Structure 1
Amino acid sequence: MSSAARKRRPRRRERPMKRLFATLALSIALGTAAQAQNLTKVRVAYDGYSMTSGPLIYADKQGIFKKFGLDITPVFVEAGSTLTSAVIGGSVDIAQNGYTPAMSAGVAGANIVIIGGISNKLPFQLVTKNTIKDAAQLKGQAIAISRYGSSTDQAADFALKHLKLDRTDVKILQLGGPATRVAAAMSGQVAGTMEQYPDTARLTREGFHVLVDVTHIAGDYPNTSYVTNRTYLKNNADVVKRFMMAMATAVHQYKANPDIAIPLTQAFLKVKEPADIKAAYEAYVKIYPDDLRPSLAGMQLVLNEIGQKVPKAKSMKPEQLVDTSALDALQKDGFFTKLGK
């Protein structure tokens, strides 16, 4: 046998190995594609970079949606009114959104319905300079909110009533987002600001203090809900049910695994100080409802407020704006009880 022939033999032996590797790679690719094809694509959006989005982001990053057969990558949409319109129009299937914009649209007859809730509290604090200890010292001072009619504005009303002050007793300034409000407080432009954790924790580290914690005085006042439109719910009842299963699982795991949840949320919110996000985590795990049920009593309070401007709301009941059929089915199946075991 010639030396040239001997050199060609290894090449012939390599070909089956190359074919094997190619086959394995193709199998993996096809398997991944098949798995992706088995997932149901759901367009989900949220309207806030806040702690109420913690479980939603946790569900995404920890692969919980996929475990329930859903292909979901949550998308941020600025402003609750914009997100509400997207749900009504069908460009978003399910949204994490404020109760008030969704309910206002529902009162007006729009194709939208609340299917659950992640926050049935108004989780804001009136944070003031440490020199302001009571209502008398706050009188005549400036307080920052985001804008009139917002959650911060509603929270300011609760805080002032608790202090037995009228809105006219202070100067309420519309300063936009939390970064602007915190900066205004730090610079002395305002004496107080309506904030949520982790910004509340940051300010207290800087010498401010909580004058009123609205979370504890407003009762069941709905803040953040899950909404869809009635057409999507009718045609995709099982998908909505699986979404609620995924979110309930995320809430349970979020509470049970702080070592994972805290750094994940810190990265999402871009919080520099670990102590601030830890304080936020400890505050919010007490707020997230395990069964994701909206508070009907709280929704009635919102209807009462809407009714001051829209008379139709006065004759409506919360049940007309809610569909908890997915949650009812999970409750009947014992799903929430099993999560706790």
Structure 2
Amino acid sequence: MDKLTLAVVSRNYFNMPAWLGLHAGLFAAEGIDLTIDHIEGIEEVNDRVRDGRAQLAYGVTEHVILDAETGGRQVIIGGNVNRLPFSLVARPGIEGIEGLRGKRIGVSSLRAGSSSLVMKMLAAHGLHHPDDYEIIPCGPILARWELLRSGGIDAGLQGAPLNHIALDQGFVSLAEPRQDFQFTSLDVDAGWAASHRDLVLRFLRGFLRAHERFFTDRDLTREVAVKESGIEPRYADRAWEEYVQAEIFPRDGEASAAGVQNLIETSALIRDLPSRARTRAEDYIDRSWLAEARASL
């Protein structure tokens, strides 16, 4: 068995295809002993690919773009969260996005991730950072949920199933963004991949089978979600229904050109990258890997 490490962001539902592939033995069937490292700091996920502690990542896609703009070699070889799965959840008593004026908004990081989305969403309602609200970098979804419950922040993006849990506990949803947006993706160092071609292709065969299994096996998906994240079965089912109906995960495993393009354009509104070398989504995606893996199934 060949060992591989996949770095992922926290223990949230975004990891479901990898969890499913691991529990269903889809990677083991390809001779791969897969370790999934759950990382709380979103910057560290892609950092681990860069320094070799992980070979692959379900990383925040904006980090791939920022890495490329500074001469890095990371590339997107598959999709993950291709469409936004979030609710902008606020504490009770806040009415509408306009009600966030003067409030504290939790984001994963100031450098990338949910901060660009939050800034764009609030700007559409006349609220601009830093004059009209405060941004609190607090880490990924689970950390934002804890701070929202404790009063450390007034609002933040929450994905399924935590958005459903929050609403059932009396919190309110101010928006439900569902547009194409490559929030996270399957990323790899292009140089490492080129020198480990057979291993990457074997991983991708398991990856493709895991995506198909997610869409066709609700019962196993529920079981794995409960084991890995500790959520109640009813919330696992609600998350599965939302992800399937909206095709938040890509059934074919592919990254979304429209989603990456929306990310580039949103990031450009917030991040000052005067020397940006690439402007097209496909400049960051290498589809040859999945094409070859799919042909060998």
Q: Same fold (TM over 0.5)?
A: yes
Partner residue of 2:243 out of 284, 294, 298: 284
The answer to which of 90-99 and 219-228 deviates more is: 90-99
2:46 aligned to 80, 84, 108, which one?
Answer: 84
Structure 2, gaps ≥5 residues long: none
Is structure 2 residue 133 aligned with structure 1 residue 170? yes
Q: Which residue of 2 aligns with 1:5?
A: none
Tell me the equivalent position of 2:217: 257
Q: In structure 2, do the counterparts of structure 1 residues 149 and 89 end up closer, same or farther at CA, with 3 Å as the change threshold?
A: closer
Show the counterpart of 2:187. Answer: 227
Offset at residue 190 of structure 1 (A): 4.1
**Who is 1:109 aligned against?**
71
Structure 1 segments unaligned to the other structure (5+ residues): 1-38, 336-341
The one of the two structures with greater contact order (alpha-carbon pairs below 8 A, sep at least 6) is 2
Q: Please give the TM-score of this superposition, normalised by the length of structure 2.
A: 0.86
Mapped to 2, the partners of 1:319 and 1:328 lie a distance apart of 15
Quote the Cα distance in structure 1 between the aligned partners of 2:89 and 2:119: 14
- Structure with a larger share of its residues in strand: 2
Query: Which letter does structure 2 place at the counterpart of 1:160?
Result: L
TM-score (norm 1): 0.76
1:296 and 2:257 correspond: yes
- % same residue: 23
1:323 to 286, 291, 296: 286
Larger mean CA deviation between 316-325 and 113-122 belongs to 316-325
Which among 35, 50, 59 is matched to residue 97 of structure 1?
A: 59
1:193 aligns with 2:156: yes
Aligned runs of 1:138-153 on 2, under 5 Å? 138-153=100-115
SS of residue paired to 1:64 = coil
Distance across 2 between alignment mates of 1:187 and 1:81: 25
Q: What is the Cα-based RMSD across aligned positions, in Å?
A: 2.6
The change in CA–CA distance for 1:158 and 1:258 in structure 2 (over 3 A counts) is farther
Looking at structure 1, the residues matched to 192 and 224 of structure 2 have their Cα atoms a distance apart, in angstroms, of 31
- Contact 1:77 / 1:83 at 8 angstroms: preserved in 2? yes
Could you tell me whether the CA contact under 8 Å between 2:12 and 2:142 is conserved in 1? no
Contact 2:204/2:290 (8 A) holds in 1? yes
Contact 2:80 2:184 (8 Å CA) reproduced: yes
Larger radius of gyration: 1
Q: Which amino acid aligns with 2:28?
A: K
The number of equivalent residue pairs is: 292
